[in-house]
Homo-oligomer: A and B are copies of this chain.
Amino acid sequence: PDWSVQTRDGIDQLERLFTFENFERALAFTNQIGALAESEAHHPALLTEWGKVTVTWWTHKIKGLHKNDFIMAAKTDQAFAGAFST
* Bound Cα distance A47, B56 (Å): 11
Interface residue total, chain A, C-beta cutoff 8 A = 16
Number of copies: 2
- For the complex formed, measure the closest distance between the CB of A41 and the CB atoms of chain B, giving whole angstroms: 9
Most chain B beta-carbon contacts within 10 A, residue among A23, A30, A48 = A48
Assess whether B46 is in contact with A50, with CB atoms less than 8 Å apart. no
Assess whether A45 is in contact with B43, with CB atoms less than 8 Å apart. no
- For the complex formed, measure the closest distance between the CB of A57 and the CB atoms of chain B, giving whole angstroms: 12
Assess whether A45 is in contact with B45, with CB atoms less than 8 Å apart. no
Closest to A23 in B: B43
Given A46-B47, A47-B48, list of 11 further CB < 8 A pairs?
Answer: A23-B34, A23-B37, A24-B38, A27-B31, A30-B46, A43-B49, A43-B50, A45-B47, A45-B48, A45-B49, A46-B48
